[in-house]
Amino acid sequence: MDFPSPLSGDLVAALVFPGVLGIFGFLVVAIWLERKLVARVQWRYGPLYVSRPLGGLLQPVADLFKLVFSELVLPRHTNRLLFAATPILLFFAEGLPVVFIAAAPGVVMAPHSYGLAIAVVLVLLVAVLMVAMAWTEADKFTYIGAMREILLTAAYEVPLLLAALAMFLLYGTADPHKVVEVQSGLWGVLLNPLAFVVYLVALLMATTRFPFEIPEAEPEVVLGPYTEYGSTLFIYAFGANYVKLYVLSLLGAVLFLGGWLPAAGVLGVLITLAKMGVFVLPAMLVRAIYPRYRIDQALRIGWGQLLALSAAAVLWSLLAAWIW
Amino acid sequence: MQKTEWPFNLEVGRTFFVQSEEELRGGGRGLTLVVGPQHPGSGHMRLFVVVDGDIIVDVVPDPGFVHRGVEKLAENRPYWTLIPLVEKASIMDSMNITYPLILALEKALGLEPPPRAKYLRVLMAELSRVRTHLYDLALLGVFLGHTTAFMWGFALMDMYAEVFAKIAGARTTIAYPVPGGVRRDVKPDHVEAVKRLLEVTRRKLKDFKTLFLDNPVTKARLEGVGIVDAKKTAELGVVGPFARASGIDYDVRKVHPYDAYGDVDFEVVVEKDGDAWARTLVRWREMYESMSIVEQVLKALPEGDVIDQALLFKNPEYRREGVGGVLGVYTYIYPEPGEYLAVAEATRGATLVHLWATGLQRVHRMRFVTPSWRNLRAMVEAMKGGRLADMPAVYMSFGYFPPEADR
């Protein structure tokens, strides 16, 4: 730990990265980046006028302000407490896995020898809250959105678990520090490319990115689970998706790209941040490339090709570990 | 707590198609979704969609939200003001949608456009066909979630709007043809602009194809979805590219060639499958056919006036005042009493205008049948039995345009 006291590693992890500042900063930068990248493909400029010298970087902040000051509507026929509480719970629950993931040596909130495994499980558990949120809204479109969310979760969670399992088997540990240590020779993506591919596709499904943007398909179910929310609650409900992307990118960077290697300390944190881009940028760009699948097609992919690929990834790891 | 749900306390028979939610078929199992008019996937209409699980059991349309009563309004106006009225039905396609009215009025007034005007009409009609197809493809893209197709389609459309503004003076509602000719002549730089436009369109459509049509996800969403076979297509009275996608080889431009369509060489695009993919492909290939027609027209564009001599002689000041001076002539010519029928191939299918003239300058009655209205039945039939996600795909594969249907 080469941070000056009184800044201990876990405090930095909680407050700066990968904690609070990282999550909220990511919200702004990711939304801006997504708009800018997609606009570049689509013969547009994207955000431009708010903070022109920064290339419109503050546009998402302006949008957040706008949303905060718009009227908050709590439908009368819903359970109003749950209606208001679930998006906030969802937002923070999506961020929870960060507690167990290290961004640099020592920069982790709760070091645990099964840290990464716990993080994966937490990511999968949060889907329940999303369904609860859609259910509380008591609307036909959110109901269908919830159903699609459940089905999509069923499609990606086994492959995601198997991809993570493949890496844990290969490394022989789920401790974030040891996982990165093992990768000092070769990164995980080279050790088991199959698992990496499965992880990337499962990440797109888990964060409902295109072509799997099925629960919130606009022409069919308006905005799916988010339909009834406005104002601040919409920020929490919709922001939760970006938090999930943040968490899964961080997890992926540690699991497959060697985390903070080859540096440590502040530079290590920055390297982790840069490696997250490997997962974030494709997740943004697919919006400009793909339409969305139908839910039955997504399920077929999840339970067909993706499951087979993830099973092969586990076998690959077993073989590699055996030969090693 | 009292729960309120549609149809609230609506009286039976207050809406056009659906009386109450309970009257919809599908029994107790289905979930009735009210899609529209304030739904991102409905357009200016309402669909009552009954889903059983993910399968659409029944769809009942409730059109008429943008009904402006064009037919009734037409009875109270002098005939030369009907053109800007009728074109509002389908603003992208204003040239094609006013075509049958112009043809019928010319029969009633006994006017004959000079050859140059005929060619110019075909030029604008085909450009607006490409533009409308681009519009429909762009919307199909965004209904499938492909925002890039949407943006590219609209960006290309805007180039057409610019060229329209050059030639006709307006970007969208051009009201270009008048009985006996066209409103403006094209100048050499307009011809250059059209040529450049076609070149840019061809270049950009290549990228469009790579990213949208050749996209495996697009194909997966459209193939085998919303199949309407040839027999059913004929029974339901589908027109235009959507009938041709089911293997019905009918195009008014070929069967009853009007204006310069007899002189140009083009192929009627026909597909066999009758699914959403076939309907998309037909329109895609029609764009290229239209562009080839435009090129032929530019090559063979005759010299001469753009307004009938009969009108010119009535206004000796024409040479000084230009075409604008001729338009005043309409105030003192009268349609011959009788019934006049004209059909033209608009972008989304055959459009019909039936005029009853009584010798007054106001027509007694104008019947105006638009293609989207005729395609609505088939669209709804094609949705049934599909999945909920197929609803927007089928919707835009029929290029359904509520303002055109409701008129």
For residue range A252-282, list pLDDT tens digits in order: 999 999 888 888 778 888 899 899 999 999 9
Which residues 1-40 in chain A show a CB within 8 A of chain B?
Answer: 38
Least confident of A161-170, B38-47, B385-394: B38-47
> Which residue range is the domain that position A239 belongs to?
9-323
Domains identified in chain A, total number: 1
Q: Which residue of A has its CA nearest to B153?
A: A42
CB-CB contact of B35 with B49 (8 Å): yes
Q: For B392-403, what is each residue's pLDDT tens digit?
A: 999 999 989 999
Residue B216 to chain A, least CA–CA distance (Å): 9
Q: For B345-403, what is each residue's pLDDT tens digit?
A: 999 999 999 999 888 888 889 999 999 999 998 998 899 888 998 999 999 999 899 99
Query: What mean pLDDT is predicted for residues A132-156?
Result: 88
> Is residue A47 pLDDT above 60, yes or no?
yes
> Could you tell me which residues are beta bridge partners of residue B78?
B362
> Is residue B261 pLDDT above 60, yes or no?
yes
In a domain, A138, yes or no: yes
> Is residue B7 pLDDT above 50, yes or no?
no
- Residues of A with CB below 8 A from B31's CB? 140, 143-144
Q: For B60-75, what is each residue's pLDDT tens digit?
A: 888 888 898 899 999 8
Query: What mean pLDDT is predicted for residues B302-310?
Result: 83
> Is residue B254 pLDDT above 80, yes or no?
yes
pLDDT at B169: 86
pLDDT at A244: 92
Cite the beta strand spans of A112-256 per DSSP E. none
Q: For B17-36, what is each residue's pLDDT tens digit?
A: 454 455 544 445 677 888 87
Looking at the partner chain, which of B41, B218, B390 has a beta carbon nearest the beta carbon of A291?
A: B218
pLDDT at B339: 92
The answer to whether B200 contacts chain A (CB < 8 Å) is no
> Is residue B12 pLDDT above 50, yes or no?
no
Instruction: Measure the CA–CA gap between B40 and B139, rounded to whole angstroms.
Output: 12
Question: How buried is residue A162: exposed, middle or buried, by Cβ count under 10 Å (0-12/13-18/19+)?
Answer: buried
Residue A68 to chain B, least CA–CA distance (Å): 24
Q: What is the model's pTM?
A: 0.88
Query: What mean pLDDT is predicted for residues B211-222?
Result: 91
Looking at the partner chain, which of A214, A220, A290 has a beta carbon nearest the beta carbon of B392?
A: A220
How confident is residue A19, by pLDDT bands cut at 50, 70 and 90?
confident
In a domain, A235, yes or no: yes
Q: Which residue of A has its CA nearest to B211?
A: A289
pLDDT at A4: 53
- Tell me how many residue pairs between chain A and chain B have CB atoms under 8 A apart: 87
Q: For A225-258, what is each residue's pLDDT tens digit?
A: 888 888 889 999 888 989 999 999 999 999 999 8
How far the first Cα of chain B sits from its last, in Å, is 42
In a domain, A288, yes or no: yes
pLDDT at B9: 39
| Assigned token pair, A141 | 């479109």
Instruction: Measure the CA–CA gap between B94 and B83, rounded to whole angstroms.
Output: 9
Instruction: Please indicate whether, in this complex, the C-beta atoms of B221 and A219 are within 8 angstroms of each other.
Output: no
The answer to whether A171 contacts chain B (CB < 8 Å) is no
Query: What mean pLDDT is predicted for residues A171-193?
Result: 86
What single string gives the DSSP state of each residue in A30-81?
Answer: HHHHHHHHHHHHTT---S-STTGGGTSTTHHHHHHHHHHTSPP---TTS-HH
Instruction: Please indicate whether, in this complex, the C-beta atoms of B147 and A288 are within 8 angstroms of each other.
Output: yes
Instruction: Measure the CA–CA gap between B177 and B259, rounded to whole angstroms.
Output: 12
CA atoms within a 13 Å half-sphere pointing along the CA-CB vector of A11: 7
In a domain, A3, yes or no: no
- Residues above pLDDT 70, as percent of chain B: 90
Write the Ramachandran bin of B389: left for phi over 0, alpha for psi from -120 to 50, otherwise beta: alpha
Q: Can you say whether the dihedral through the CA atoms of A105, A107, A111, A115 is positive or negative?
A: negative
How confident is residue B47, by pLDDT bands cut at 50, 70 and 90?
confident
> Could you tell me which residues are beta bridge partners of residue B362?
B78
The answer to whether B1 contacts chain A (CB < 8 Å) is yes
According to DSSP, the β-strands at B365-369 and B338-346 are unpaired
Instruction: Please indicate whether, in this complex, the C-beta atoms of A42 and B33 are within 8 angstroms of each other.
Output: no
pLDDT at B22: 52
CB-CB contact of A26 with A17 (8 Å): no
The answer to whether A44 contacts chain B (CB < 8 Å) is yes
Query: What mean pLDDT is predicted for residues B168-191?
Result: 88
Our measurement of the distance from residue A263's CA atom to the centroid of its chain's CA atoms, rounded to an integer in Å, reads: 24
The answer to whether B152 contacts chain A (CB < 8 Å) is yes
Instruction: Measure the CA–CA gap between A302 and B198, rounded to whole angstroms.
Output: 43
Instruction: Please indicate whether, in this complex, the C-beta atoms of A291 and B40 are within 8 angstroms of each other.
Output: no
pLDDT at A6: 61
Segment holding B338, helix H or strand E: strand B338-346
Segment holding B56, helix H or strand E: strand B55-62
pLDDT at B21: 52
pLDDT at B304: 83
- Residues above pLDDT 90, as percent of chain B: 44
pLDDT at A164: 92
Instruction: Measure the CA–CA gap between B259 and B302, rounded to whole angstroms.
Output: 13
Query: What mean pLDDT is predicted for residues B172-194?
Result: 88
Cβ burial B52-69 (10 Å sphere, 16+ → b, else e): eebebbbbbbbbebbeee
pLDDT at B45: 87
User: Who wins on pLDDT, B240 or A17?
Assistant: B240
Question: Which of A205, A210, A220, A285 to mutate to test binding with chain B, by most B CBs within 10 Å of its CB?
Answer: A220
Instruction: Please indicate whether, in this complex, the C-beta atoms of B387 and A296 are within 8 angstroms of each other.
Output: yes
pLDDT at B29: 66
Residue type, B393: A
User: Who wins on pLDDT, B100 or B32?
Assistant: B100
> Is residue B10 pLDDT above 80, yes or no?
no
Question: How buried is residue A65: exposed, middle or buried, by Cβ count under 10 Å (0-12/13-18/19+)?
Answer: exposed
- Residues of A with CB below 8 A from B147's CB? 38, 42, 287-288
In a domain, A2, yes or no: no
Looking at the partner chain, which of A41, A211, A292 has a beta carbon nearest the beta carbon of B148?
A: A41
Query: What mean pLDDT is predicted for residues A85-114?
Result: 88
How confident is residue B320, by pLDDT bands cut at 50, 70 and 90?
low
Q: What integer best gives the mean pLDDT of chain A? A: 88
The answer to whether B10 contacts chain A (CB < 8 Å) is no
Cβ-based neighbours of B192, under 8 Å, separated by 6 or more = none
| Assigned token pair, B92 | 């992208």
- Residues of A with CB below 8 A from B1's CB? 76-77
Segment holding B142, helix H or strand E: helix B115-143
Q: What integer best gives the mean pLDDT of chain B? A: 86
Residue A88 to chain B, least CA–CA distance (Å): 26
Instruction: Please indicate whether, in this complex, the C-beta atoms of B221 and A293 are within 8 angstroms of each other.
Output: yes
Residue type, B143: F
> Is residue A52 pLDDT above 80, yes or no?
yes
Q: Which residue of A has its CA nearest to B146?
A: A291
Among B112, B111, B114, smallest CA distance to B304 is for B114
Phi first, then psi: what are they for A182, rounded to 5°? -60, -35
pLDDT at B322: 61
Place of tokens 């800018």: A36
Instruction: Please indicate whether, in this complex, the C-beta atoms of A220 and B389 are within 8 angstroms of each other.
Output: yes
pLDDT at B27: 46
Instruction: Please indicate whether, in this complex, the C-beta atoms of B33 and A141 are within 8 angstroms of each other.
Output: yes
In a domain, A1, yes or no: no
pLDDT at B4: 42
Beta-carbon neighbour count of residue B285 at 10 Å?
17
Instruction: Measure the CA–CA gap between B171 and B174, rounded to whole angstroms.
Output: 7
- Residues of B with CB below 8 A from A289's CB? 148, 211, 215
DSSP structural state of residue B387: B
Directed axis angle between helix B276-299 and helix B390-397, to 10°? 30
In a domain, A210, yes or no: yes
Residue B89 to chain A, least CA–CA distance (Å): 24
Place of tokens 């339909």: A227
Q: Which residue of B has its CA nearest to A222?
A: B40
> Is residue B3 pLDDT above 60, yes or no?
no
- Residues of B with CB below 8 A from A42's CB? 147-148, 151-152, 155
In a domain, A207, yes or no: yes
- Residues of B with CB below 8 A from A76's CB? 1
Phi first, then psi: what are they for A277, rounded to 5°? -60, -30
Which residues 34-63 in chain B show a CB within 8 A of chain A?
Answer: 39-41, 51, 54
The answer to whether A300 contacts chain B (CB < 8 Å) is no
Segment holding B344, helix H or strand E: strand B338-346
